[in-house]
Amino acid sequence: CKNYYQATYKCENCHPGGKDILINSGTPKALLNHSYLSSSILAQVANYKFNLALPCHRQMKLWHAVGLPVQDKALDRALIKVSQRYLKPLYQALIKLIQCEAVIHMDETPFQVLDSRKANGYFWVTRTTKEFS
């Protein structure tokens, strides 16, 4: 846990009439306002979830072992909020680029969502044929 403190200074002699100029020191900007989850924690949560296929409810023992008392739903919500805030503009820009193409290749790949054989999801991969033309 890192605590950041922001100092604020003013000159006592510059503006005696009450129009003081305040100068603040900078602090790192949080990915999510009012959240105790730092960018490095969220990056590790995403790494566990998407690279190692370890869902948030199974990550709880790992995070509790290092002293982070967080619930799986809070991690899920944080990942969704970060994705919506920071990845949605990138997604929209890529969609605009794809829509300008004459030919688009799409592939549907099924994957198992849960341990149940009945629950399937799909990855939709979209690309242009520019590389081949």
Structure confidence by residue, pLDDT tens digits, 76-121:
999 999 999 889 999 999 889 888 888 888 888 887 776 666 777 7
Mean pLDDT of the chain: 83
CB-count exposure of residue 54 (10 Å: 0-12, 13-18, 19+): middle
Tokens read off for 114 = 């849960």
Task: Please give the model's pTM, rounded to 2 decimal places.
Answer: 0.61
Query: Rounded CA gap, 24 and 38, in Å?
Result: 22
For 20-38, give one letter per residue: b (16+ CB within 10 A) or e.
Answer: eeeeeeeeeeebeeeeebe
How far, in Å, CA of 22 to CA of 15, rounded? 11
Residues 6+ apart with CB under 8 A from 56: 45, 49, 72, 73, 75, 76, 79
Which residue in 81, 83, 76 sits closest to 60, CA to CA? 76
Confidence of residue 133 (pLDDT cuts 50, 70, 90): very low
Mean pLDDT of 8-28: 73
Backbone angles phi, psi at 105, to 5 degrees: -105, 130
